[in-house]
Structure formats: structure tokens, C-alpha cells
Amino acid sequence: QVQLVESGGGLVQAGGFLRLSCAASGRTFSSYTMGWFRQAPGKERGFVAAISWTGGSTYSGDSVKGRFTISRDNNKNTVYLEMNSVKPEDTAVYYCAAVRMVATTLAHEYEYWGQGTQVTVSS
């Protein structure tokens, strides 16, 4: 069982920076691919970024490429999402998710989910 707790959300102006964190419980964090997804009101949950269990591979959604960076610290059981040059359309609830030893960007393949953290970008 893996428990995920996101933090770092809030209100930020367009063009600004925000860093989200996701702390995971358990001793096998280094065996899990970690992903970030987001859901805006009235929209489906969409893929943002993912990082393989070794940290050697990262994946980003088209809408955030070049602006958002995912990273992980396996010593701290934490995954991060650095959000640069944020836009109003980045406003959403951001969810952290985990899946064991599968490199995937598909939400339905993730096994564990956090409760989400709200990110609001003002114009």
C-alpha cells in the first residue's frame, strides 16, 4: 500500500512559478513510476508528467512541455513538479499517482492516488 500526499498548490500569477511536492509512504518508493495529472472543472483528468522508478526517464504532456519539470528524490520518498511560466489554463486540481514498475502516462494504469492540491493561475 502506498499513500500519497500532495502539497505546494496555491494561487499564482500568470508567468509565475510554483513547485508541487508529493510525499509517499512505504519503503518501496523507488519501485514506483510517479505521475502528475490534473483536472479542471468540467474536464476529464489529464496527464501532466511522469517519471520512471529509477528517475532515468521522464514524460511530459504536450501542453506543459518546456514549462513543467518532474523530478524525484528516492531518499526522501518525494516527487516534485516544477511549474514555470504558468498560464491561466494550468488552473486545476493536481494529483500525484503511483504505479509499480510500469512506465505509463495512462491514468487508468496508476494504482495509487493522492487527494489532490489546487493550483489557481490568475491572469
Average pLDDT taken over every residue of the chain: 96
Q: Cell 486540481 sits at which residue? A: 93
First to last CA, the chain: 40
Taking the C-alpha atoms of residue 32 and residue 104, their distance in angstroms, rounded to an integer, is 11
Planar angle of CA 22, 42, 46, nearest 5 degrees: 40
Taking the C-alpha atoms of residue 89 and residue 43, their distance in angstroms, rounded to an integer, is 12
Q: Is the pLDDT score of 104 beyond 90?
A: yes
Amino acid at the residue 3: Q
State residue 31 phi and psi, 5-degree precision: -100, 0
Taking the C-alpha atoms of residue 118 and residue 115, their distance in angstroms, rounded to an integer, is 10
What does the pLDDT look like over 7-35, one tens digit per residue?
A: 999 999 999 999 999 999 977 999 999 99
**Percentage of the chain modeled with pLDDT above 70:** 100
